[in-house]
Structure 1
C-alpha cells in the first residue's frame, strides 16, 4: 500500500464531506506510522466530524503525548469532551489552547461557552 497516496485519498474524502470514509483510509496509515502527527490529526478530525467521539479522544490524547504543545489538539480534545457532556474536563484543554493562542477567536469562544456552562469549574 502506498501510504502517501492513501493519505491523499483520505484528505479528499474528508474535504468532500465524508469523514467516515476518510477515517477508514487513515486507520491503517496510523497503524503503520503511529508517530505521524499529521495523519493522526486528520484521523482525529475525521472521527470528530463523524461523531465517533471516543475514538477522536483517543487520537487526540495520543497526539498530546507526542507533542504536549499542540494547541490545536488541546482545542479539539476540549471540544470532543464537551460534545461528550464532559464540560468540566473539557474546560482544562480549552483554557490551555486559548492561553497558547489568545488571539484565536474559535479558542476563546469555546472557552467562554464552556466556562459559562460550568461556572468556571474545571477538572
Structure 2
C-alpha cells in the first residue's frame, strides 16, 4: 500500500493504473486521497483533473451519490464544460433520475462534441 511519503506523481500513476484495470473502487480511494492532499497542502497540483478522475471512478464503482456530488461542484465551477455535463447527466441517468439528467445531457450536446444519449426509452432526435 502507498503512504503519504510516496511521491504524489507515483500515487497518481497508481490511481490511473487501478482505473485502467477497472478496479474503480480502489481507484476512487486513491484519487480521493490525492484530491484531499492537493486541496489541503496546496502543493501545486490543480484538483480539477483529479476530481474528474475521482468522479469517473465513483461512477465506475457505482458510488453514484459521491460521483454526483463531485460533478455538481465541478459543473458549478465550469458551467460551460460539456464533458462535465455529460458525466453528470449519465450519473443521474444511472440513478434513474431521467428528468434531472435531460438538462445536463442537452447542455453537453450544445456545449461540446458529445452526442446526446438516446438511452432509457428516449426516441432519436427527442
User: Could you tell me the TM-score, scaled by structure 2's length?
Assistant: 0.81
2:22 pairs, out of 17, 21, 28, with 17
Following superposition of structure 1 onto structure 2, how do residues 92-107 of structure 1 map, counting pairs within 5 Å? 92-101=103-112, 103-104=113-114, 107=115
1:113 pairs, out of 113, 119, 123, with 119
The 1:115–1:89 alpha-carbon spacing in structure 2 relative to 1, beyond 3 Å, is farther
> Which residue of structure 2 lines up, in the alignment, with residue 61 of structure 1?
72
Structure with the greater alpha carbon radius of gyration: 2
Q: Which has the higher helix share?
A: 1
CA-based RMSD: 1.9
- Number of corresponding residues: 113
1:31 pairs, out of 29, 32, 36, with 36
User: Could you tell me the TM-score, scaled by structure 1's length?
Assistant: 0.82
Q: Contact 2:75/2:84 (CA < 8 Å) preserved in 1?
A: yes
Structure 1 gaps, min length 5: none
Runs of 4+ in structure 1 off by over 4 angstroms are none
